[in-house]
Amino acid sequence: MMNSMNVPSKRSTLERKLDKLILTLFGTLFTMCLIGAIGSGVFIDRKYYFLGLSKSVEDQFNPNRRFLVVLLTMLTLLTLYSTIIPISLYVSIEMVKFIQSTQFINKDLNMYHAETDTPALARTSNLNEELGQVEYIFSDKTGTLTRNLMEFFKCTIGGEIYGTGMTEIERGVAERKGIKVQEVPTSINSVREKGFNFDDVRLMRGAWRNEPNPEACKEFFRCLAICHTVLPEGDESPEKIKYQAASPDEAALVLAAKHFGYFFYRRTPTMIYVRESHVERMGKIQDVSYEILNVLEFNSTRKRQSVVCRYPDGRLVLYCKGADTVIYERLVGGSDDLKKVTREHLEKFGSAGLRTLCLAYKDLAPDVYESWNEKFIQAKSSLRDRERKLDEVAELIEKDLILIGATAIEDKLQEGVPDCIETLSRAGIKIWVLTGDKMETAINIAYACNLLNNEMKQFIISSETDAIREVEERGDQVEIARFIKEEVKKQLKKCLDEAQQYFHGVSGPKLALIIDGKCLMYALDPSLRIMLLNLSLNCSSVVCCRVSPLQKAQVTSLVKKGARKITLSIGDGANDVSMIQAAHIGVGISGLEGMQAVMASDFAIAQFRFLKDLLLVHGRWSYIRLCKVVTYFFYKNLTFTLTQFWFTFYTGFSGQRFYDDWFQSLYNVIFTALPVIIVGLFDKDVSSSLSKRYPELYKEGIKNMFFKWRVVAIWAFFAVYQSLVFYYFVTVSSSTSQGSSGKMFGLWDVSTMAFTCVVVTVNLRLLMICNSITRWHYISVGGSIVAWFLFIFLYSGIMTPYDRQVKYLLGHIRLDEYILFLHHSSSCSCCCTSGRFPLLRCAKMVLPL
């Protein structure tokens, strides 16, 4: 609960910028209305006798009440120019985004994980385009970069290391050092099962009896078989049994015991049944039942788990397994050699990227146990602070333990992770790993997945220094806090100074920061936060180890708010939920750790490597498409409204309509609606495989190249230019035109012509911004233009001759008129669309992009 946060609502950066654009448009609308209204106030005068502005004229045209004229004209113009606000834009964007997420992201076979039958899932359609602008990725390690499939790989028993084989990380380390890796052939008798990847003949099939320390081996195997909370399921035979465990580590350990000849096959509330082989003599198999007296459960503060059991012969034993630090604190004095050797082995396992657990046991005297058990029962039945009391009682008995050895479990990297990380960093995305693991393990994993390499300059800020340890041993909490803070400040300052030197250099090495949770706690302090941010933003990769879920979220917010960059968090477990919620985009991995991360996320994928498709392909396309949709909408509405605005200057600012009502209403709904949606769905500059092969293309999104104010300004420029051409070309060229009856062209004839120009040009202009043209483009653009001609054909036919409206095509049609009409419209459209090329050329000469 301490790590939980309020669920934030997320809106994309593009949408927030769009709000600003709409506000600007409102500003423009107001200015246009104001110009018109003031114009009308100035213009209105009785000297224009033909306007009939006599005394009984309505208020809007009364020269004696100019202020009222201005006010009323303002309102008239507000309705007249309201088309400048693209109301249908929001509907179109929602439609486009919805189809993008449900049809493209959810159904992409490249993001489908066949093994688990999991497709990608867009849980919101709000953030598609945000995926195209991500600059920082915060990733969890276990289950996100790794598979979370634990396999028993090595162990150390009584100071002897067992298990051949090399982890991927060890191989990576050897390759970095230039050592040629020789494959160790697996022995003929080696057993391989999911969860057990151990190969050493010395321990298998009872061979451990000949080892230097068979008693320790026995205790080791019994500890694995007894000290757990696993439930067996299915047939009680070694081949068919299934183990249900709270964590995959635990299942792997019980499985290992099975392969060593200690087969745990049944559990009742008080008993554990184990089929033991080769214990008394080689080849003998016997069923042994152990009475489970107490279970001291695992939790994240205790970091250990113990079981008190009674052997059939009455022997009382406590078995304990847990993190090395907590077990070592509780060992009985003496046998320092064993402790030292085991510690060395643990370090070796750690640097090979293995997850380790120490095993220990202790024989209990019956009277000691009885008196402790009373306290335990009391604590267990207490109603208040039960957890704390239980922990305290556990402390009483979990001491003076005898070390048996340690296990090492491998969690392999997910398929394609190093390649994915490399591609993403080429795309300009910086990846931070936030993990609860030890520093050595985290660094090795970071090496294995290409986040760190030897050419990088690494800054390590760790609390595991002698000076800090010394102060910690003294035990004064205030002093410790003060000292570590000072130390962290010093380190940060030193690193930052050094980083700045590299940063100013032209071809300095890439930088990396590795920091542990304890130091991070102090570095996130408001006084040091800026320094941490400056340092980490200069680094291409950052690894934070031993961090709590809340710290994960704090680091994410630091970059999100402090650097104002677009962030993405990816994780698989409940401990990643707050980080997923804190970032602009949260991605959940639907793995083995339950659904909490997925439920909190915006997008869910099955594997880390699918991030490449999600960002570089879908994110990039969505971003480019939506930018086009927004800027194009802005352009088409501005162009249309401006023609009306120019007309106002020739009507004495009276608020006379240039276009027929129907034209104005149907402009956004029918004549220009569909093509822009088609662009939002199908426009594509490069294919998905090229997007992944040339990830550098993604940088355009990070820099927001397609929706800058400059881009909007260029569109606005063309809107003004084209509207001027439409208006003046059509009005001037038809000023002397006349119909077949010899009548001059009227307002509705001219405005129909201008509207034709607008519809044709705006639709053709759309084709010019498309990177790829599919048949859907032809159908929608052609369809929109045809729809207009069809509409005007029917509309002019339906209207009676007494109507004031258009009667242009039908009834009065004559070939010469029609040719004149088409000539005017098409030459005007050509002029508009082609005007773009010389102008763009000039613009590029003046302002090279």
Q: How far is the CB of 679 from Mg ion (least distance, A)?
A: 40
Nearer to Mg ion, 542 or 589 (CB): 589
Q: What residue type is assigned to position 477 of the chain?
A: Q
Which one of 39, 418, 517, 573 is in contact with Mg ion (CB under 5 A)? 573
Position 702: which residue type? I
User: Cβ neighbours of residue 339 under 8 Å, at least 6 residues apart?
Assistant: 328, 331, 403
The answer to the question of whether 200 is labelled as a binding residue is no
Q: Is the dihedral of CA 131, 136, 138, 144 positive or negative?
A: positive
Q: Are strands 430-434 and 136-139 parallel, antiparallel or unpaired?
A: parallel
Separation between Cα atoms, residue 416 and residue 413, nearest integer Å = 8
- For Mg ion, the binding residue among 129, 140, 437, 749 (CB under 5 A) is 140
User: What span, in angstroms and rounded, lies between the C-alpha atoms of 453 and 510?
Assistant: 9
Q: Which range in 142-150, 210-218, 432-440, 458-466 contacts Mg ion by CB under 5 A? A: 142-150
Contact pick of 100, 126, 128, 142 for Mg ion (by CB under 5 A): 142
Active site residue 683: no
Residue ranges of E strands in 397-452: 402-413, 430-434
Contact 643, 658 (CB under 8 A): yes
Nearer to Mg ion, 92 or 142 (CB): 142
Q: How far is the CB of 555 from Mg ion (least distance, A)?
A: 16
Query: Which range binds Mg ion by CB under 5 A, 479-487, 570-578, 612-620, 685-693?
Result: 570-578
CB of 145 to Mg ion, least distance (A): 9
Q: If you search the block for the tokens 């939506």, which residue do you land on?
A: 626
- State the sign of the Cα–Cα–Cα–Cα dihedral 137, 138, 143, 145: positive
Output 546 or 625, the one with its CB closest to Mg ion: 546
User: Which is nearer to Mg ion, 299 or 735 (by Cβ)?
Assistant: 299
For residue 396, CA distances in Å to 113, 308, 368, 369, 399 come to 49, 13, 11, 11, 7
- Least distance to Mg ion, CB of residue 446, Å: 16
Stretch that binds Mg ion, among 139-147, 200-208, 713-721, 814-822 (CB under 5 A): 139-147
572 binds Mg ion (CB under 5 A): yes
Catalytic, out of 117, 140, 199, 411: 140
**C-beta of 591: minimal distance to Mg ion in Å?**
8
The answer on whether 552 is annotated among ligand-binding residues is yes
What residue ranges in 124-225 does DSSP mark as E strands?
Answer: 136-139, 146-157, 160-162
**Residue 441 in the binding site for Mg ion (CB under 5 A):** no
Distance of alpha carbon 808 from alpha carbon 761, whole angstroms: 21
Could you give the CA distance from residue 635 to residue 651 in angstroms, rounded to a whole number?
Answer: 25
The CB density around residue 433, as the number of other CB atoms within 10 Å, is: 27
> Which H or E element spans position 532?
helix 526-537
> What does the per-residue mask of binding to Mg ion show for 10-49, with x meaning CB under 5 A?
----------------------------------------
Least distance (Å) between residue 143 CB and Mg ion:
4
Q: Which stretch binds Mg ion (CB under 5 A): 431-439, 567-575, 733-741, 818-826?
A: 567-575
Token pair of 122 as six digits: 């867009």
- From the list 590, 587, 616, the residue with the least C-alpha distance to 421 is 616
Which helix (H) or strand (E) segment is 588 a member of?
strand 585-589
The CA distance from 115 to 330, in Å, is: 43
Q: Which residue stretch of 136-144, 372-380, 500-508, 669-677 sits at the interface with Mg ion (rule: CB under 5 A)?
A: 136-144
Helix (H, G, I), strand (E, B) or coil at 30: helix
Structure tokens at 800: 């009676």
Task: Please indicate if the annotation marks 229 as binding a ligand.
Answer: no
Distance CA 210, CA 202 (A): 8
d(CA 772, CA 682): 8
- Maximum pairwise Cα distance, the chain: 126
User: What x-and-dash track marks residues 86-125 binding Mg ion by CB under 5 A?
Assistant: ----------------------------------------
525 is annotated as contributing to ligand binding? no
* Listed ranges 130-138, 454-462, 572-580, 683-691: which one lies at the site for Mg ion (CB under 5 A): 572-580
> In Å, how far from its chain's centre is CA 294?
44
- Residue 572 among known ligand-binding residues: yes
Q: Which is nearer to Mg ion, 173 or 605 (CB)?
A: 605
- Cβ atoms 535, 499 nearer than 8 A: yes
Stretch that binds Mg ion, among 306-314, 350-358, 404-412, 564-572 (CB under 5 A): 564-572
| Total site size for Mg ion, rule CB under 5 A | 5
Q: Is 339 annotated as a binding residue?
A: no
321 carries a ligand binding annotation = yes
Residue 151 vs 572, nearer CB to Mg ion: 572
d(CA 173, CA 34): 72
Nearest residue (CB) to Mg ion, 142 versus 458: 142
Q: In this chain, which of 86, 132, 143, 739 binds Mg ion, going by CB under 5 A? A: 143
Q: Is 195 annotated as a binding residue?
A: no
Q: Which stretch binds Mg ion (CB under 5 A): 137-145, 270-278, 490-498, 681-689?
A: 137-145
Pairing of strands 160-162, 603-605: unpaired
How many CB atoms within 10 Å of residue 330?
Answer: 19
User: What is the nearest approach in angstroms of Mg ion to the Cβ of residue 140?
Assistant: 4
In terms of CB distance, is 319 or 608 closer to Mg ion?
Answer: 608
Beta bridge partners of 193: 196
411 is in an annotated binding site: no
Report the site for Mg ion in 156-195 (rule: CB under 5 A).
none
Q: Whose structure tokens read 């230097």? A: 212
Return d(Cα 179, Cα 172) in angstroms, integer: 10
Does the annotation place 355 within a ligand binding site? yes
Task: Give one DSSP letter per residue of 747-768, joined into a string.
Answer: HHHHHHHHHHHHHHHHHHHHHH
Q: 579 or 785, CB closer to Mg ion?
A: 579
By the rule CB under 5 A, 411 interacts with Mg ion: no
294 is in an annotated binding site: no
Kindly tell me which of 390 and 606 has the beta carbon lying closer to Mg ion.
606
How far does CA 424 lie from the centroid of its chain?
A: 13
Identify whether the C-beta of residue 811 lies closer than 8 Å to the C-beta of residue 796.
yes
298 is in an annotated binding site: yes
> Rounded to the nearest whole angstrom, what is the least distance from the CB of residue 246 to Mg ion in the complex?
15
| CA 327 to each of CA 7, 296, 356, 391, 607: distance values in angstroms, whole numbers, following the listed order | 38, 14, 12, 15, 35
Q: Minimum distance between the CB of residue 148 and Mg ion, rounded to whole angstroms?
A: 7
CB of 580 to Mg ion, least distance (A): 11
Nearer to Mg ion, 350 or 573 (CB): 573
Smallest gap from Cβ 224 to Mg ion, in A, equals 24
Check the annotation: does 683 bind a ligand: no
Which residue, 143 or 159, has its beta carbon nearer to Mg ion? 143
Q: Give the separation between CA 469 and CA 72, rounded to whole angstroms.
A: 80
Q: Least distance (Å) from Mg ion to the CB of residue 270?
A: 34
Annotated binding-site residue? 250: yes
Amino acid at 566: I
The reply, when asked if residue 731 is annotated as ligand binding, is no
Rounded to 5 degrees, what angle do the CA atoms 163, 167, 173 make? 125
Residues that bind Mg ion (CB under 5 A): 140, 142-143, 572-573
**Annotation: binding site for ATP:** 140-142, 250, 298, 321, 355, 435-437, 546, 552, 575-576
**Annotation: binding site:** 140-142, 250, 298, 321, 355, 435-437, 546, 552, 572, 575-576
**Annotation: binding site for Mg(2+):** 140, 142, 572, 576
Q: What amino acid positions are annotated as catalytic residues?
A: 140
